[in-house]
C-alpha cells in the first residue's frame, strides 16, 4: 500500500471503530486478529494483507468493498 492509501485506510478504520464504540481490543476480538496488530494498522506501522482486510470486514459485518470505500 502506498502511504496515502495506508493513511486513508487507517483513518477509515479508526473512524468506523470509534463510531461503533469499540476499543482496539474489542475490534481485534471481533476480527480474530491480535490487538497490537490493530493498533499498528491504525498507526500505519503495518500493512494488512487481503486475508486480514477480509477478517476486519467480516468482524465489522461489512463487505470488503464497504471497508475499503475511503475515497
Res 44 pLDDT > 90: yes
Q: Helix 24-31 vs helix 50-60: angle between axes, to the nearest 10 degrees? A: 100
Mean pLDDT of 24-52: 97
Where does the pLDDT of residue 3 fall: very low under 50, low under 70, confident under 90, or very high at 90 and above? confident
Q: What is the pLDDT of residue 33?
A: 97
Res 43 pLDDT > 70: yes
Taken in order 53, 54, 56, 60, is the CA torsion positive or negative? Answer: positive
Pairwise CA distance, residues 6 & 42, whole Å: 9
> For the chain, which domains are there?
3-67 (1.10.260.40)
24 membership: H or E segment, kind and range:
helix 24-31
Amino acid at each position: 500500500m502506498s502511504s496515502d492509501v495506508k493513511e486513508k485506510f487507517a483513518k477509515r478504520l479508526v473512524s468506523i471503530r470509534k463510531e461503533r464504540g469499540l476499543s482496539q481490543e474489542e475490534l481485534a476480538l471481533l476480527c480474530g486478529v491480535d490487538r497490537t496488530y490493530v493498533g499498528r494498522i491504525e498507526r500505519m506501522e503495518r500493512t494488512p494483507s487481503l486475508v486480514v482486510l477480509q477478517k476486519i470486514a467480516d468482524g465489522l459485518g461489512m463487505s470488503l468493498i464497504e471497508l475499503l470505500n475511503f475515497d
